[in-house]
Amino acid sequence: MTLGQKQRNFTMMISCLIYHAYNNGCELTFGDAYRDPRVHGQLGQKESYSSAYSNHKNRLAVDFNLFVEGEYITDGEHPKYVMLGEFWEGLGGAWGGRFNDANHFSIEHHGRK
């Protein structure tokens, strides 16, 4: 699959995740999505807090802020985060809760999540 095909598939998957979240008592706001190379460096460059090969730079990752009953959830082990992460994995995505970054939802590209 080409990068462009992955990006379009990722966008469709994200819409499913958002729909699932809202149908299960969650609300979301966007955190980081695309990391602009003018701020975060080109792919392979380490600038700011972004990793050199972040999938955010490839438009294949997004961070969501999770709210449950109006409360901002930061605990990555919260049942709603786990529910969203497992749903995302069921779609074929990689959930950051498996590597201490619960608000991170991505798809694999060249071995990176």
* Within a domain: 22: yes
- CATH number, domain at 64? 3.30.1380.10
Residue 26 token pair: 């969650």
* Within a domain: 64: yes
Domain count, the chain: 1
pLDDT per residue as tens digits for the range 22-67: 999 999 999 999 877 776 767 756 776 767 568 998 999 999 999 9
3-class SS at 92? coil
Residue 71's DSSP bridge partners are: 68
* Within a domain: 113: no
* Within a domain: 101: yes
* Within a domain: 111: no
The per-residue DSSP string of 41-87 comes to -STT---TTS-TT-TTTTT-EEEEEEEETTEEE--TTSHHHHHHHHH
* Within a domain: 7: yes
Residue 112 confidence (pLDDT) above 90? no
Q: Is the pTM of this model over 0.95?
A: no
> Could you give the CA distance from residue 65 to residue 32 in angstroms, rounded to a whole number?
9
